[in-house]
Chain A
Amino acid sequence: MKYVDEYRDGRLAGAIAERIAAEAARGRDYYFMEFCGGHTHAISRYGLEDLLPANIRMIHGPGCPVCVLPIGRIDHAIRLAERPEITLCTYGDLMRVPGPHGTSLLKAKAAGADIRMVYSTLDALRIAEAEPSREVVFFAIGFETTTPPTALAIRIADKKRLKNFSIFCNHVITPAAIASILDHPDVRTLGAIRIDGFIGPAHVSTVIGTQPYKFFAEEYEKPVVVAGFEPLDVMQAILMLVRQVNDGRHEVENEYIRAVTEEGNLKAQSEVAEVFELREAFEWRGLGIVPYSALRLREAFAQYDAERRFPVVTEPVRDNPACECGAILRGVKRPTECRLFGTACTPETPIGSCMVSAEGACAAHWTYGRFREDTAASVGQRAAS
């Protein structure tokens, strides 16, 4: 695959790893957060942590839109799907996310709800056109990468005057999430969680550009390197972060220059601005209520908003008190530090979303890394050495 295989060249990996080890200063640790779940997945899938020197630690961030969706929203989606007139279309990622009382979209489907897995909003639109007697609701999730496709779907539905298409909107904003992490007392207080720099998301950045990260670099004095998705991209970005930290710089750098520009995709941004507006507040699993961090449809497009079109009564749902997804999403705890990890909470019986999503920190560790037996003790040893 062109523009993919070249950035997966294993022969270069070892050499870049040696370069990182050579430049990482002895006697200090580097803590880098990869914000984006796709980077978490790449790091686990390729075993990149094995190639890094012991004094570089990767902290997994909350950039996984499935992981940060509160249980209440899954509950809401299930209730929509259970209405006999509604066909709920969803991306595959959401099918197994646990709702309250052990429910999930997959289980609701087994019980008879009309839930259909789709690859794209285009498929949902096709279903709406082909089945005019069905009320098609698209379960919209994702960061800024996935929002333009939803915006365009609304435009297409509007142009075609579709009367039976709407979305259940759970789109969230990256910079707000980064701010929420950096503003958290655990991070701002000295001596608690340390983050020396960020690997910025790849495809969110194709849309929003590198411009929005300048604020974080300046205000919080943390370097940000936007990295492509492939393992060599991630390694190169880590090298660039090490160099910034060593130099005492805190700039926004772009490793993914082949797809990301400073201004991003202006057309996509304007489509989103036409159709969506910011919600004053939105609940994130693990981060609590974050102001101006999520989107809803503008008044002009209210007819396409499933929340307004199909009022649903939901009860507030609490997360399992022993579930440490919140702390894990903020990078405060590692999966192995959660009491439920590997016992009550496994990929077969997930309690929290970190275990369900393919790129959640817990799923990644369980699936790819648990043979390393990374216990709290060994973390302490490494940090002290």
Chain B
Amino acid sequence: MCLAIPARVTELLADGMARISLDGVTKVVSVALVDDVRVGDYIVLHVGYALAKIDEVEAERTLALLREAAGSLALAEAAS
């Protein structure tokens, strides 16, 4: 539930608003619910509001875990 999509902040505007870009699609949205948003940050966007920032380090860690889960099987198969 709650369709939300990661989008990149391209410009900070007045009154807690910002411009975001999603692969070239841009929109002015509210970032008033998240502290310390900077240009270049990725936010989770839901109905025109940023709800959280995407943590780049944790995102990498998740990807590594996914690849490990996938890769370990390949390694095991290669070894057997």
Query: How far does the Cβ of A287 sit from chain B's closest Cβ, in whole Å?
Result: 16
Q: How many residues of A contact B (CB 8 A)?
A: 56
Main secondary structure of the interface of B (DSSP, over half): mixed
CB distance from A91 to the nearest CB of B (A): 7
Asked if B33 contacts A143 (CB within 8 A), the reply is no
Q: In residues 41-79 of chain B, which contact A (Cβ within 8 Å)?
A: 42, 44, 46-49, 51-56, 58-59, 61-63, 65-67, 69-74
* Chain A proximity of B64: nearest CB distance (Å): 11
Across the interface, name the chain A residue whose C-beta is closest to B43: A259
Contacting pair A122 B54 (CB below 8 A): no
Closest to B5 in A: A4
Query: Closest CB-CB distance, A118 to chain B, in whole Å?
Result: 9
Q: In the assembly, what is the distance between CA of A22 and CA of B54, in Å? A: 32
Q: Is the CB of B71 within 8 A of A15?
A: yes
* With contact pairs A19-B73, A152-B49, A258-B58 given, residues A122 and B67 touching in the complex (Cβ less than 8 Å): no
> Which of the 9-residue segments A198-206, A216-224, A307-315 touches chain B?
A198-206
Q: CA of A236 to CA of B59 in the docked complex: distance in angstroms? A: 14
For A203, list chain B residues within 8 Å (CB): 1-2, 4, 44, 46, 51
21 A-B pairs in the complex with CB atoms less than 8 angstroms apart:
A1-B5, A1-B22, A1-B23, A7-B62, A7-B63, A15-B71, A91-B47, A120-B29, A120-B49, A121-B48, A122-B48, A146-B46, A146-B47, A149-B33, A203-B2, A203-B46, A228-B62, A233-B62, A258-B58, A259-B54, A268-B33
Chain A residues proximal to chain B, CB less than 8 Å: 1-4, 6-7, 11-12, 15-16, 18-19, 22, 36-39, 63-65, 91, 119-123, 142-143, 145-146, 148-149, 152, 201-204, 206-207, 228-229, 232-233, 236, 239, 255-260, 265, 267-268, 271, 359
Other A-B pairs beyond A16-B70, A207-B51, A258-B59, 11, CB < 8 Å: A1-B23, A3-B42, A15-B70, A19-B70, A22-B73, A145-B1, A148-B49, A152-B33, A202-B4, A206-B51, A268-B51
